[in-house]
Chain A
């Protein structure tokens, strides 16, 4: 098929101008991308575990956290803050603070204030999800295998009367949705 454009010089100029502008715009976008990839801060990705709405399972939420100094505190803080995904439920009661923590032989010992127990709404479902949201989030890190939870520096048998916390806990695959 033969196709010929009949354009007067004015139209030609306009089209040329547009092509130039498009090229310039493309160059600008390319530059912006280059800048973005090279100079903007690249955040780290973490898996945070929150409860599903039924209160039966944990669902992982991929989160980019800018880690200033302390990855572990930042992860606990993100758990306390709650999920960003709409259909997930927070697992940590109000007022909870991480007092301090210690890592030894791939076991992290997290020392929480008493709010974790006192403000907890109870129930084995609630307790299981609270504890394993913490345990699974931290053991998802390659350097952590086990988690021990202390309340105000004290060893506990259980948080609110069901789950055995007298021994360090490992990642719980059964509680994770999609298994």
Chain B
């Protein structure tokens, strides 16, 4: 017990030591006066951790009168109305009628009087700043004087009048109730008047000793409506902080309208109704609570009004209104931009309920927060619309009977609520979107497609693949080779393949069926992949955009001409070797220049394509510089059919590496082209696959034909630099790029 007590005691003692003996002992090696190093010109001593200066040196420095009375051992210094007095054996300095305590006071050394430097010089109005861990002491004359701080513009601006604008900082506390303005090398005017403090605000002026700056600290009962960015302006003689508007008054006017008034303009509020319309939340952006007036005059319709600052980043004010009689208030169009008005007894009108190819839509006269939920038996989607009533174009029942929806019923659910019920063919995913359309709010519920079935039949010549969906869908069919596969990308389709019975017998032509989901340009895509056992000609036998897709795979070519000559000729292909001449491009760690390996690969691509009878032109065939504009102009002028730019990559981290293929959406066909090329490179080049990227690159953006830019490998990666320098790797890359080009051209030919 006793030992434990002792330990606790020691622990507490250590904490106290840390708290109280933390301030470091001062030790200045250099002293600067108005920027000039005066250390050598003055005599100083250190006593009790305080720096003392020889009184005569100080008097000379400040150009003050000094008088010494030997009998009293007292020292007096006078300058511009400031009068200070020190006495030996006293630690006080008398400044005018005030006395301040120092550590050492006046000290006599070798019959010379020494006085505390910091306190004395501060008494004469100078500012001190310690720098470099207290190694250096800077003494400045104040450069500006703060004369007045006051509110302007109905409390929306704070003006700080000062002689000159010196560097300053405006700082906000996290709770938003304190704003600190730090002004460098400033002093406060003798006749300074505080015109800021009132029943909401309190101003405190703090001279920050040791840092030659002045802090104006303004505290408020309520969050201060500062603007998060900017809001600080300078004039010749003042610093102006402009604030956001504040809530001024909440009241009922003569028309029984509830008004919310601010000191400035009110932006678009978000209005939400809760508890079946018993409560209304009004979220107002960029307004803060102030000293507002609440004046409800015992209105019978409103039970209570509460105001809170919902958030400060971004600034949002929330007004919460509770209604007493279930009479709901609706926003009115703003007449005065500083006032939001609400009129009782108005409900949002629901109009023009409509269904069209998987999309249910309706309009509302004000913003709603629809509540949606699915019920299973029978499958249906319930949509509750609070505080609304049915207007024109909303009948009790809307018959649909398509693959997704049977019908939509509408009814008044209770006093406040209109309910829509969509009877579904089967449970499905949906998405709700809202957008404004000529003053009304349009709500659209999109029902996603799903797969109904995937079947396959084979006869002697063909194997058919049938894909049945619940609705008409946007899809894209692509064929990739080595390994051979058929890929279908579906938009707006829910991937329910795991709930589906897939054909057990794919053979003879299909090896496997896979599916995956990915994002393509911000849209979710469901991809269905049929792995084929060999290359088979295919034909889509269903019209585009239908809900049933039928594909025939054939061992024989559909088109006899393709069988004999499955090659594409008379296509003009431009191959662009990146960089060149004085522009070496990236440079490898062992000195390989990007321009040379780009050219080597480009020449190999040309040779392979030529050998196959294609028409190829290079932007450059030797080591010369070509601007990006010239490369683009060249390809556009000769009307090239496709454009391939060859590059090698680089990054500061030598361990990153791999192959990338870039395209730009300027030509919509570029993506398929990139997919075709990257299908080969990513799979077979033997280095890391960094994927296909949509990039804002100059040459693939401004060329009009389908274009890609290949970054074969990283020169900054020593292993890949070696590869890029080897003829074997260059040949491999070139032949894979050619495979991709031919694959793309073949597909475009519609084989």
Chain A residues within CB distance 8 Å of chain B = 11, 14, 18, 21-22, 25, 28, 32, 37-39, 41-42, 51, 53-56, 66-69, 89-91, 121-126, 128-129, 141-143, 157-158, 160-164, 166, 169, 174
Contacts and interface: CB of A to CB of B under 8 A. Distances in A.
Contacts of A162: 578, 647, 695, 697-699, 709
Nearest to A129: B651
B167 A128 contact: no
A14 B5 CA distance: 8
B638 interface: no
Contacts of A28: 19
A interface SS class: loop
B229 A142 contact: yes
B24 interface: no
Given A38-B178, A55-B653, A141-B229, A126 B698 contact: no
B648 A123 contact: yes
Contacts of B180: 41-42
Contacts of A141: 229
A128 B650 CA distance: 11
B695 A53 contact: no
A89 B694 contact: no
B12 A21 contact: yes
Contacts of A69: 167
B303 interface: no
Interface string B340-377: 00000000000000000000000000000000000000
Contacts of B652: 51, 55, 89-91, 121, 126
A51 B651 contact: yes
Contact of B173 (A21, A42, A51): A42
Contacts of A14: 5
Interface in B636-667: 647-653, 655-656, 660, 662
Given A18-B5, A18-B8, A126-B651, A161 B628 contact: yes
Interface of B: 1, 5, 8-9, 12, 15-16, 19, 167, 169, 171-174, 178, 180, 182, 206, 217, 228-230, 578-579, 583, 585-587, 594, 627-629, 647-653, 655-656, 660, 662, 690, 694-699, 701-702, 709, 711, 714-716
B651 A55 contact: yes
Nearest to B175: A37
A103 B700 CA distance: 30
Given A42-B171, A53-B656, A164 B8 contact: no
Contacts of B182: 41
A53 B19 contact: no
B711 A157 contact: no
A141 B173 CA distance: 20
Contacts of A51: 651-653
Contacts of B697: 124, 162-164
A63 B701 CA distance: 35
Given A42-B172, A164-B696, A174-B694, A25 B15 contact: yes
B interface SS class: mixed
Contacts of A38: 173, 178, 217
A160 B660 CA distance: 18
Given A160-B585, A161-B698, 7 more contacts: A55-B652, A56-B690, A121-B716, A122-B585, A123-B585, A123-B649, A124-B695
A169 B206 CA distance: 45
Contacts of A174: 694
Contact of A68 (B167, B229, B662): B167
30 contacts: A21-B12, A25-B12, A32-B19, A38-B173, A41-B171, A42-B171, A51-B653, A53-B655, A53-B656, A55-B651, A56-B656, A68-B167, A121-B650, A121-B651, A121-B716, A122-B586, A122-B594, A123-B585, A123-B711, A124-B697, A125-B650, A126-B586, A141-B229, A142-B229, A157-B629, A161-B583, A162-B578, A162-B695, A162-B709, A164-B698
A69 B239 CA distance: 13
Contact of A122 (B230, B587, B629, B709): B587
Nearest to A91: B652
Nearest to B647: A124
B586 A123 contact: yes
Contacts of B585: 122-123, 160-161
Contacts of A32: 19
A39 B215 CA distance: 9
| Closest A-B pairs by Cβ, 8 of them | A123-B650, A122-B586, A55-B651, A55-B656, A123-B649, A164-B698, A123-B586, A122-B650
A158 B228 CA distance: 34
Nearest to A66: B169
Given A25-B12, A55-B656, A125 B651 contact: yes
A68 B169 contact: yes
Contacts of B16: 25
Contacts of B649: 123-126
A123 B709 contact: no
B173 A161 contact: no
Contacts of B711: 123-125
Contact of A143 (B169, B229, B660, B690): B229
B660 A125 contact: yes
Nearest to B715: A123
A39 to B, nearest CB: 8
Contacts of A41: 169, 171, 180, 182
Contacts of B656: 53-56, 125
B583 A123 contact: no
Contacts of B167: 68-69
B696 A157 contact: no
B4 to A, nearest CB: 10
A54 B61 CA distance: 61
A40 to B, nearest CB: 10
Given A53-B655, A161-B583, A174-B694, A123 B171 contact: no
